[in-house]
Chain A
Amino acid sequence: TQLLEQSPQFLSIQEGENLTVYCNSSSVFSSLQWYRQEPGEGPVLLVTVVTGGEVKKLKRLTFQFGDARKDSSLHITAAQPGDTGLYLCASLNTDKLIFGTGTRLQVFP
Chain B
Amino acid sequence: GAVVSQHPSRVICKSGTSVKIECRSLDFQATTMFWYRQFPKQSLMLMATSNEGSKATYEQGVEKDKFLINHASLTLSTLTVTSAHPEDSSFYICSTLTGNGYTFGSGTRLTVV
Contacts and interface: CB of A to CB of B under 8 A. Distances in A.
Given A42-B95, A45-B101, A98 B107 contact: no
Contacts of B6: 42
Contacts of A88: 43-44
B46 A102 contact: no
Contacts of B41: 104
Contacts of A101: 42-43
A96 B95 CA distance: 10
Contacts of A99: 36, 43-46
B49 A42 contact: no
B93 A42 contact: yes
A52 interface: no
Nearest to B102: A97
A42 B43 contact: no
Interface residues of B, number: 24
A97 B34 contact: yes
A53 to B, nearest CB: 22
B34 A96 contact: yes
Contacts of A86: 43
B78 interface: no
A40 interface: yes
B24 interface: no
Contacts of B9: 40
B109 interface: yes
A98 B45 CA distance: 8
18 contacts: A33-B101, A33-B102, A40-B107, A41-B107, A42-B6, A42-B95, A43-B44, A45-B101, A48-B101, A86-B43, A88-B44, A96-B49, A97-B46, A98-B46, A99-B36, A99-B45, A101-B43, A102-B43
Given A43-B93, A97-B34, A99-B44, 18 more contacts: A1-B60, A33-B101, A40-B106, A40-B107, A41-B106, A42-B6, A42-B93, A42-B95, A42-B107, A44-B104, A86-B43, A95-B49, A97-B46, A97-B95, A99-B36, A102-B42, A102-B43, A104-B41
